[in-house]
Amino acid sequence: MATLGDRVPMFKLRPYKGLLIAALFVAIIGGLLSAYFFIEEEYSSGSNGLFLLILTIIIVVCLIIGAYSRYGFKHLRHHRPGYKRG
């Protein structure tokens, strides 16, 4: 939200950057960890890599949905020029 002096605050309809960065960070770290566990599973019997990969995908999808949650609010959309109100 940016204020324009004494006028009404201007709301931007953009996704939350912090959540998108967090989703990218979780995807990279989770992908690397699951790849490590997939390599380790060749030498031992465990399914940690698949569990971690599924958990990473679920967390990333939830973060992306949260980042784009602003698009659900119709009142934040800007009106085009020439739009008659009332």
pLDDT 10s digits, 6-56 = 665 556 678 889 999 999 999 999 999 998 888 876 776 667 888 899 999
Bridge partners of 10, per DSSP, are 2
CA distance 27 to 53: 9
Q: Provide mean pLDDT across the span 64-84.
A: 71
pLDDT at 81 over 70: no
Q: Which tokens is 10 given? A: 């201007």
User: What's the pLDDT score for residue 4?
Assistant: 52
Bridge partners of 2, per DSSP, are 10
pLDDT at 63 over 80: yes
User: What's the pLDDT score for residue 84?
Assistant: 57
User: What's the pLDDT score for residue 9?
Assistant: 56
